[in-house]
Structure formats: structure tokens, C-alpha cells
Structure 1
Amino acid sequence: MEEIPLPVGCITCYFVRHGERIDHIDETWIQKAPVPYDPPLTAEGLLQAQRTGALISDLESTLEPAEYLVLTSPFLRCLQTAQGIQQGYMQNRAGNWKIAIEPGLSEVMNENYFDHPLPDTLISWRERDLDGCANMQADREYKRIKETLPEYPENFQSMMARFVATLDMATARQLGLLAAQNAVQPERPAKRRVLIMVTHGAGISSLLWATTKQPGAYDVPYCCLTRAQLVSRLSSQPLAPFGSTRIPAFKWNVDYRAYSQHTANL
């Protein structure tokens, strides 16, 4: 199938792993935690997130104005990272940010990570937490790409297909919104779209695969940042059903790949 070129710079994605988590620093935390499978960030983890937001601000400073949508895994450490990113960004510049919970970005539901399925109440807890996100508006019109947490147990092939589908479907939605806005007001081109996806280490590796076709080629430390700019759609065929393929539908230009120098001196 012939590639379909897309407007240069219309969509930029940033993929960010969450910051440092408390249970990897304090071994006693899990013994007293009310929700032991959902650890928060450490103070350093929040600083890592803020540094990442400042980096995004620097990277965006030479580009056209944009509308920002943060999609975060429903795990607490990811939502807290999203908040820190926005705080770091706002230290240098203003911006109109929205945020939504996307279960398609969840941690891999593998037996090596969890010894039992996790409840979908994790999603509703995070939805309630959105109201406390200062300077970010909860996007209540956002429809989740995946309504529930991933099935348990989840193998790594299924996880990769989940992340490919989440990226493809989120991208297709943004293209649809751009097209609709341009159809209504052709004399005023719609602002470019920026998607910031906050997820987990295995998720970052999967998103790197989806955008570079180089699986396992990169270390993915806390708050590492990847920037991918949309180039084209690889065919005119409809998107595959969710989770049915690990073959991405879009082509990306990726210039920052699991970059972590911005947090090196913390």
C-alpha cells in the first residue's frame, strides 16, 4: 500500500516513563501501604517529572502554538508524573493543557509484576483524582481507547500490540479533530496537536518499537523522554481491531529516544 503523507508538524508525541517510585527506595513502604500495587512517586521522582516538563517546554519553544493533551496510565505514579511534567512546563511558559486517563497505557499485567488481577476501580480512582490537577483541565469528552485494565495474565506480545493500538488510535483521533476543525474554519488552520503519553518502562519500549521499529534497543530510565513527530500513514486501510497486531499504522520521525540527560544530576 502507498504511504499517505500528512501535514508536516501536525502531531507531536512525547512518551515519558514515570518518575522514581517509592517502593523501589523504601522496602518498608509496601508493608503499610493501603494499596500496595499502586506506589506513588518519591520526592526525587517528582523533581524528575518537573525537569521533563521543563525540557518539553524548551523543545516546544521554537514550534508553532499547540493544544496539549496528556494521556496517562491509571497508576498513581503516572498521574503524579503527569502533574510534575505540567508544573515544569509552566515554569517557563503558559499553555492550554488537558488530561485524561487511558488504560491502554497501563503497566504490563504479567505474573512477574503482579500475582493477581488488579481491579478496574484503579481507573475510577484516577478519574476522581483528575479534579485535583492544578492548571490542567480534565478532558471529560475523552473516550478511552481501552475501557478496562489489560487482561491478566498478559504476555509481552499482547502488551506490545496494546501499545501499538493505543498510539495508532490516539493519533487517528487527533487527525480527525484537526480535519474537522479545518473543515469548519478553513481560513484559520487548526493548531498543531501535542500528545504526552505517561506510562511505564515496558510501555516506553513498546512505543519506541511502534515508532522506530527497533525493539529493545534503548534503556528506559525514570522520566526518560522520547519525541516522535508524525510523518505519514502507512496505508489507506482501516485501523486494525484493538490489540490484534504489532504492526503500526503510522510513520514517525523520532529525534529524542529515551533521552535522560535532563535528570542526570539529580
Structure 2
Amino acid sequence: MANQTTQNVVVMRHGDRIDNFEPLWTEKADRPWDPPLILDGKVRAFCTGKKLSNNLGFPIHRVFVSPFLRCLQTASEVIHALCAVGDCSNVMSSADGVDIDPSKLKASVEYGLCEMLNKRAIRAENAPKDGNFAFNISECEAVLPQGIVDSSVERVYKEMPKWEESSEAARNRYQSIIKTLADKYPNENLLLVTHGEGVGVSVIAHAAEHLTVYEVEYCAYSKLQRTIKENKSDTTEEFKLTGHTGVLTMPTSPTADEMVKEPPPASS
């Protein structure tokens, strides 16, 4: 019999974004599709990172993050909490000063974790007119803590999905990218920092029962686990949902409605 180990994947939504609290922000923004976090969002992300560090029961080895600024800033705060050196029980965000050990984990930007690129998630007036979201990987990586980025990682998606992708295509993308990243690093536990739709898909696709997701809160997350068999001739088990926090679900019958409910504009 082949030796077995377990692999864990945490799929997390970003924190509180500024345009949902300051509606006029987009009118003056150079990149209205790419809002940053508000301070409360950074605090929520850091505190969620502390919660993960204390309660998961397993270490995070590798972080993958959407290129959108709100996700990069969320990942930065979570990484500070996960890699903190010494007691940070009274620290509320990285701005309070946190020493980290960058050898604890590595991080990479992954286009496949990006926002659902259609008008359901991004208001048409805020989307780039030419469909080019103009992400620069080096600039994205600079948002993450120094020494954390693994520059040797080859991205699954070499470029952004095309605007305007369908909701179904986006959901398929989220489900696929979770498995693809996990398969690339089967001996590591992963944290994927993405958008509300991605977290919802991770719950629905891996739950033991049929669920509908009605709401995904800021910094909500799901926990997935599977058994990895060292003998590659054996079949690795599928991921199973082992828990979620901040995701409002309801059991449903297995119908065509078994999916994440459409989010309101600019809510992801």
C-alpha cells in the first residue's frame, strides 16, 4: 500500500475594499477597477491571518494571490501574521511593525485567481475601455513582504482572462485553478487569496451536500483537504470541504441553480 499524506488548501476572499465605503473614490481613480483596502480591511486581513496561524492545525507553505490590489494587500497582511516572529497578539496590522521570518512560506501572483471579469463583478463604467487591466507582475510582487516572492514559479495563466468572460467560465476557472495549483505542489499546504466568487465556488464544488452560496464576507475562507498517495500509479483522492468561515450557505436540491448566486456589481 502506498504511503499517504494529506494536503490542505485554504481559499480566502480579500478584505474591505475602499470603493464600497467611499463611492466617489472611483471618479478620481486612475485604475477604478482596482481599489485598495481601507484600513479596516487591512486589520481584518491581519487578524484573519492570526486566526489561521493559531487555529488551522497545519502550516501554510505557499501562497498564491490574485493580481488585484485588494487581494495583494490582503495577502501581505495575512503573510505578516503567518510569518510573524515573536508575540503579535496585540498587533492589529503590519503597520504596527511586525518582524517576519520569510523562510516560513513563499508567495506568487497567479492570474487565474483574478476577479470574475464581467459586468456582474466589475461595473462597466469602471472597467478598462480596451479590456486591458494592465497588471505588471513586478509591481504586484512589490506589494508582498520582502523576501517572500518565489520568482521561480511559472504561472498557470500566462495572461489575464479576456474581458468579458461569462460567469460560468469564471466559475470553471476558479474550480480548475484550485486543482491545478494543488497538483503542482501536492506536498505543500496552500493559501489562495482571491475574490468572493472563488471562495463560493470552492465551497460548492467540494461540499458533501448540494449547497447554494448566498454571501461571502470579507476575508471569508474555506478549508479543503485531500489524501495524497506517494505512488503515482494510485489515484489521489478528490478534495473535500472540511469547513468554512464567513460563507452563508443553504442546502439545495441538485438543480441548475446549484451555484454561487450572482453578486451585486462591484461586490467581489
TM-score normalized by the length of structure 1: 0.74
Q: 1:145 aligns with which of 156, 159, 175?
A: 156
**Does the 8 Å contact 1:71/1:195 carry over to 2?**
yes
Question: Which residue does 1:156 correspond to in 2?
Answer: 167
SS of 2:239's partner is: strand
Q: 1:106 aligns with which of 107, 114, 120?
A: 114
- Shift, 1:156, TM fit: 1.6
Q: 1:18 aligns with which of 1, 11, 14?
A: 14
Higher fraction of helix: 1
Question: Which residue does 1:119 correspond to in 2?
Answer: 132
Counterpart of 2:71, as a letter, is C
In structure 1, runs of 5+ residues without a counterpart are 179-192, 238-248, 261-266
- Residue pairs, 1:170-249, within 5 angstroms: 170-175=181-186, 178=187, 193-212=188-207, 214-217=210-213, 219-231=215-227
Question: Which residue does 1:73 correspond to in 2?
Answer: 66
Question: Which residue does 2:53 correspond to in 1?
Answer: 57
Question: Which residue does 1:8 correspond to in 2?
Answer: 5
Percent of aligned positions with the same letter in both sequences?
Answer: 24
Q: CA RMSD in A?
A: 2.8
Question: Which piece of structure 1 moves more, 251-260 or 103-112?
Answer: 251-260
Q: 1:255 aligns with which of 242, 245, 250?
A: 242
Cα distance in 2 for residues equivalent to 1:52 and 1:99? 17
Cα distance in 1 for residues equivalent to 2:45 and 2:191? 12
Change (3 A) 1:163 1:54: same
TM-score normalized by the length of structure 2: 0.74
What is the aligned length? Answer: 223
Change (3 A) 1:174 1:212: same
Change (3 A) 1:145 1:5: farther
